[in-house]
Amino acid sequence: QVQLVESGGGLVQAGGSLRLSCAASGGAFSSLIAGWFRQAPGKERELVAFLTRSGDSANYADFAKGRFTASRDNAENTLYLQMNSLKPEDTAVYYCAADPYTIVLATTVRPDHWGQGTPVTVSS
């Protein structure tokens, strides 16, 4: 069973940057599709980005394109999300997730593995 633990969230001013990390353990992380979701207060959880198993390709939600960069280091079993030009509307709890199948991360909010989430607050 894969365990995922996020870190790096916090409070940042609008226009600032944060880098989230997600450490994986307990399983073959490199065999899984991995990505990031977020859930703002009172809203549904939504996909931010997901990566192929090798990390050579990433897909982003429209709101993340041009500002966020997802990456992974399979040797370190770690997933990253670099967030730049942050806006108050980016305030949410950010979760990393992983699943054997691309379609699960791309089209559902039910991947097999979730982290506990790390909060990000962007002040105006």
β-pairing, 78-83 with 68-73? antiparallel
CA angle 37, 31, 70 (to 5 degrees): 35
For 85, the token pair is 């030009």
CA angle 116, 118, 120 (to 5 degrees): 155
Give Cα 2 to chain centroid, integer Å: 16
Predicted confidence at residue 109, as pLDDT, reads 85
pLDDT in tens, 14-70: 999 999 999 999 989 999 999 999 999 999 999 999 999 999 999 999 999 999 999
- Residue-wise pLDDT tens digits, 64-113: 999 999 999 999 999 999 999 999 999 999 999 999 999 999 998 899 99
Q: Give me 72's structure tokens.
A: 């992974």
User: Chain-wide mean pLDDT for the chain?
Assistant: 96
